[in-house]
Amino acid sequence: MRVLFAIVFCLILSCAASVGAQNAPQRVALLLPLSGAQADLGQAMQNMAVMALFTAPDANLAIVPYDTGGRADLARAAYEKAVSEGAQIILGPLFSAELRAIKQDSRPDIPILSFSNDWQQAGGNTYIMGFAPQPEMAQLYSHLTARGTRFVHLLLADGAYGKEVENFSRQFAQNHAFEVASATRFQPQDARAMAQGLKKIADSIDGKGGGYAKSYHAIILAAPPSQLANLDAAMRQEDISAENFVVALVGSSVDANLAGYENLRGALVVGSPALARGDGDYKSYYTKPPLPLASLAYDAVIWAAAYLRDSYPGRSPLAGQIAIQGRDGAMRFNGKNIAERQLTLYQVTESGLRGLAGY
């Protein structure tokens, strides 16, 4: 079946040249890191884009991949090549620096659906598909304050996402009965610094009484998926588990495979309603589960199909009027060109993710 998908994808890419202009598929560029350090993620996103073509209603698209290598200069070259070859919409790129490079002098009539979560670049012809932290944090803090949390400890991978989690947390605390007791950042690939930050948080909580007092503290973790195994090991070493501390994970660290990490069982996560569904259909074609964030490409293709279906010369539909049911559930863009999604609060259990009633 995997071979069949590859054959079909090749046919999709070549059919634009073999049909009459009136019925020619609409050309959609897919800008992904198909080489370099993030090539595995780029391939998983391309796979998801192919899967979406089989479910997009009345899709008449030619999805053409362009390799960005995860680099701003290559992303810019890929964008220029895609536009010169007639792309009507751009899906990607993945990283904030890549998006910044292609936005310079971009064609205002060609929408860019970036997989980045850099909401600061949204606007004009640029739409942000990535999961922004504000909606996640609002839902999480609603639950934590309702259960009586008084102190929040932040352990965040350095970057725009981590900074916004801290900013949002401090602003939220000003109007609610809790405080940000500590905020520690670490370089995304520095497992030692992450472990040291976790130890600092554990010592701080123990210094405030430990025992029953732990229930008044919550540890908010934002770590890249590549660090989840190191995070689990560090929690074990410091005798921290989500069963004896209130632990929540946010951002790209959230995926359906968290149950495999023993010390994260019991943790709270915010994600789409589809998160607990699993990826059996993907694994049946590609033999392994997709990497986190791969589903963004699926949803982008579904959205692009709806957008282009309602477009014709001289008219483009307002992006905010298009709502889709994608891989990650219901989605639309708000007036700031940032994706809005229905979110669900989950708890990690030994068997997977369990949705919490009322959230």
DSSP 140-174: HHHHHHHTT--EEEEEEESSHHHHHHHHHHHHHHH
Instruction: Read off the pLDDT of residues 33-90 as tens digits, 9 standing for 90 and up.
Output: 999 989 999 999 999 999 998 887 667 899 999 999 999 999 999 999 999 999 999 9
Asked whether residue 12 carries a pLDDT value surpassing 70, the answer given is: no
What tokens appear for 242 in the block?
């989500």
Q: How many domains are there within the chain?
A: 2
**Residues 243 and 182 reside in one and the same domain:** yes
User: How far is Cα 211 from Cα 207, in angstroms, rounded to an integer?
Assistant: 11
**Residues 220 and 310 reside in one and the same domain:** no
**Residues 122 and 152 reside in one and the same domain:** no
Mean pLDDT of 204-212: 62
Contacts 24+ apart (CB under 8 A), 116-124: 117/160, 117/161, 118/160, 119/336, 119/338, 120/160, 121/96, 122/336, 122/337, 122/338, 123/336, 123/337, 124/337
In a domain, 173, yes or no: yes
Most confident listed range (260-269, 270-279, 305-314): 260-269
Mean pLDDT of 176-195: 89
- Position 327 scores a pLDDT of 86
Pairing of strands 339-341, 329-333: antiparallel
CATH number, domain containing residue 258: 3.40.50.2300
Tell me the pLDDT band of 20, cut-offs 50, 70 and 90. Answer: very low
Instruction: Read off the pLDDT of residues 84-143 as tens digits, 9 standing for 90 and up.
Output: 999 999 999 999 999 999 998 899 999 999 999 888 899 999 999 988 888 889 999 999
Instruction: Read off the pLDDT of residues 214-266 as tens digits, 9 standing for 90 and up.
Output: 778 899 998 877 788 888 888 888 888 887 788 998 875 566 678 888 888 99
Mean pLDDT of 6-17: 44
Asked whether residue 210 carries a pLDDT value surpassing 70, the answer given is: no
**Residues 124 and 44 reside in one and the same domain:** yes
Helices 160-174 + 133-146 axis angle, to 10: 40
In a domain, 158, yes or no: yes
**Residues 191 and 265 reside in one and the same domain:** yes
End-to-end CA distance of the chain: 38
**Residues 347 and 211 reside in one and the same domain:** yes
**Residues 305 and 261 reside in one and the same domain:** no
Mean pLDDT of the chain: 84
In a domain, 287, yes or no: no
What tokens appear for 186 in the block?
């670490």
- Position 18 scores a pLDDT of 40
**Residues 266 and 203 reside in one and the same domain:** yes
**Residues 100 and 142 reside in one and the same domain:** no
In a domain, 285, yes or no: no
User: How far is Cα 51 from Cα 65, in angstroms, rounded to an integer?
Assistant: 14
In the chain, % of residues over pLDDT 90: 40
**Residues 351 and 209 reside in one and the same domain:** yes
The alpha carbon of 61 is separated from its chain's Cα centroid by a whole number of angstroms, namely 24
In a domain, 332, yes or no: no
- Position 298 scores a pLDDT of 94
- Position 28 scores a pLDDT of 96
User: Domain range holding 104?
Assistant: 2-130+293-327
In a domain, 282, yes or no: no
- Position 166 scores a pLDDT of 94
In single-letter form, the type of residue at position 116 comes to S
Residue 70 near residue 36, CB atoms below 8 Å: yes
In a domain, 245, yes or no: yes
List the one residue out of 112, 45, 55, 24 whose CA is nearest residue 307.
112
List the one residue out of 171, 105, 164 whose CA is nearest residue 130.
164
Mean pLDDT of 196-224: 78
Mean pLDDT of 152-178: 90
**Residues 38 and 143 reside in one and the same domain:** no
Asked whether residue 1 carries a pLDDT value surpassing 50, the answer given is: no
In a domain, 16, yes or no: yes
What tokens appear for 226 in the block?
């590549």
**Residues 195 and 257 reside in one and the same domain:** yes
pTM here is 0.79
User: How far is Cα 256 from Cα 246, in angstroms, rounded to an integer?
Assistant: 19
